[in-house]
Amino acid sequence: MDSEAIEHLYPGGEGEALCRLDQHMQRVAWVCNFKKPETEPNTLTPSTTVLSPYMKFGCLSARTFWWRLTDVYRGKQHSEPPVSLHGQLLWREFFNMAGAGIPNFHRMEGNSVCVQVDWDTNEEHLVAWREVRKPVEDSDAIMTQLRSEGWIHHLERHAMACFLTRGDLWISWEEGMKLYSVTDEERKACDVGSDLHCVAQLHSGKEEYLTAMWPAGCTVSLWEEDKKGDYSRKYIPLLRKFPVEYIYEPWKAPLSIQERAGCIVRDYPANRGARCHQQEEHPEDEGCVARARQRDTGCENRCKAESKLCGRQTKKPRRKPI
């Protein structure tokens, strides 16, 4: 990553964290009306607080954040969990609880809440994904922002993780987790201290137990938020000269347009190992069908088990007749 860019945008330390918290708490109307689904994932400036990394690295206490929000909310109408800022902190604590209480939460094997998937092993595709070797689509823009600035919106974390796992490459989320940590203990710490930051999304958006969540598949949903392609142009300079109708699928542009843009990508789809496109274009492919069935069956079983469990926990006792 570009350490200078990260230092410039998001300096570390408790003082910086508290200063940023103060600035946000002064935006009373914004805080009270905050609803996470209404934030935009690919704006050129963040549409959220960007306080999650400060909590992740211990620069900002979740308790401090919670009670500062409580002070702002007091006596006012405000949004409610799970979409409010209080709700985002509750999501963080949910992952803390899951990571602390579920054995082997940081890996697939031995993890009782994780669907067991026969992932591919493809070092070439993994390295290309991690290092943005072929930066010509929106998932590459997301990775470039992460590598150059150190932070991305949570929907972009979903999209990035989906591309790595069930969306395109069919590579284990454990490999993606290694992008953010080095040692086994650090990976465990990332999961236990998950604040809906990158590592957590490799769980919750993928073959993990939160299958009721809307899966931000590939990057189609992100296209709808950035109709002019400004986000992709910022983080993928090669695409700056492409007309807007080809900005998200430049390989579909006529060769003459690619040449004028100075970026020839006509052979790109053949090199991307696209599982989702392969399944769409070749539905008879037994490998794709079997994997989709394995994924869907595992997730369906997990949902049924959780619904049954939740039903037992929330069922009210019957009153005895008077």
- Among the listed residues 246, 254, 10, the one whose alpha carbon sits nearest the alpha carbon of residue 138: 246
Annotated binding residue at 48? yes
Annotated binding residue at 49? yes
**Helix-then-strand count for the chain, H and E:** 17, 0
Annotated binding residue at 60? no
Annotated binding residue at 314? no
Annotated binding residue at 92? yes
CA dist 51 and 88 (Å) reads: 11
Annotated binding residue at 88? yes
Annotated binding residue at 201? no
Buried b (16+ CB within 10 A) or exposed e, 261-285: bebebeebbeebbbbbebeeeeeee
Judged by DSSP in three states, 120 sits in strand
CA dist 241 and 262 (Å) reads: 8
Annotated binding residue at 91? yes
Annotated binding residue at 74? no
Annotated binding residue at 90? yes
Annotated binding residue at 163? no
The tokens describing 271, both together, are 């090199």
Radius of gyration of the CA atoms of the chain, in A? 21
Sign of CA dihedral 97, 101, 106, 107: negative
Contact 61, 195 (CB under 8 A): no
Annotated binding residue at 72? no
CA dist 3 and 45 (Å) reads: 19
DSSP string, 126-195: HHHHHHTSS--SHHHHHHHHHHHHS---HHHHHHHHHIIIIITT-B-HHHHHTTT-SSHHHHHHHHHT--
CA dist 275 and 266 (Å) reads: 19
Annotated binding residue at 21? no
Show binding-site residues for FAD.
48-52, 88-95
Show binding-site residues.
48-52, 88-95
